[in-house]
Structure 1
Amino acid sequence: MLTKAEKTKQFILEMAVPLYNEKGISGVNIDDVLAATKLTKGCLYGHFENKDDLSEQVIDFMLKKISSRIYLAVSVGKTAKAKIYAFMDFYKDPIDTYISGGCPIFNTAIEADNSYPLIKKKVAVLIKEGQEALTGILKEGIANGEFSSKIDPAGFAFKMVAAIEGGIVMCRTLESTKPMQGLIKSLKKELEQQ
Structure 2
Amino acid sequence: MNTSEFILEKVSPVFNKQGYVGTSLTDITNATGLTKGAIYCNFSNKEDLALQAFRYNINAAITPLFTLVAATEGSINKLYAVTNYQRSYYELVKDRGGCPMLRAGIDTKFINPLLFKAAQQLSQKFIIGLTTIINDGITANQINENTDPVKYSKIILSLIEGSSLLAFTHNDESYIANAMDFIDSTIIAAITK
What interval of TM-score do these two structures reach, taking the shorter chain for normalisation? Answer: 0.7 to 0.9
| 1:182 lines up with 2:178 in the alignment | yes
Structure-1 separation of matches of 2:45 and 2:117: 21
CA RMSD, 1 decimal: 2.0
- What secondary structure, in the 3-state scheme, does the structure 1 residue paired with 2:92 have? coil
Structure-2 separation of matches of 1:65 and 1:180: 19
| 1:146 lines up with 2:138 in the alignment | no
1:108 pairs with 94, 99, 104, which one? 104
Partner of 2:167: 171
TM-score normalised per structure 1:
0.87
Tell me which moved more, 59-68 or 125-134. 59-68
Tell me which moved more, 149-158 or 114-123. 114-123
Structure-2 separation of matches of 1:76 and 1:18: 28
Partner of 1:68: 63
| 1:133 lines up with 2:129 in the alignment | yes
TM-score normalised per structure 2:
0.87
Query: How many aligned residue pairs are there?
Result: 189
Structure 2 regions of 5+ residues with no counterpart? none
The 8 Å contact of residues 147 and 192 in structure 1, kept in 2 or not, is answered as no
Partner of 2:72: 77
Structure-1 separation of matches of 2:168 and 2:61: 18
Cα shift readout 1:143-168 (whole Å, capped 9, x = no counterpart): 22222223211111100001110111
Q: CA deviation at 1:140?
A: 0.9
The 8 Å contact of residues 24 and 107 in structure 1, kept in 2 or not, is answered as yes
Structure-2 separation of matches of 1:45 and 1:117: 21
Counterpart AA for 2:79:
I
Counterpart AA for 1:170:
L
Q: CA deviation at 1:93?
A: 3.7
Taking a change above 3 Å as real, the CA distance of residues 95 and 128 of structure 1, as seen in their structure-2 partners, is: closer
Structure-1 separation of matches of 2:121 and 2:59: 12
Partner of 1:55: 50
Tell me which moved more, 13-22 or 37-46. 37-46
Counterpart AA for 2:161:
E
The 8 Å contact of residues 138 and 147 in structure 1, kept in 2 or not, is answered as yes
The 8 Å contact of residues 135 and 153 in structure 1, kept in 2 or not, is answered as yes
| 1:41 lines up with 2:55 in the alignment | no
| 1:192 lines up with 2:189 in the alignment | yes
Tell me which moved more, 33-42 or 180-189. 33-42
Structure-2 separation of matches of 1:118 and 1:51: 12
State the identity as a percent. Answer: 25
Tell me which moved more, 180-189 or 142-151. 142-151
- What secondary structure, in the 3-state scheme, does the structure 1 residue paired with 2:22 have? coil
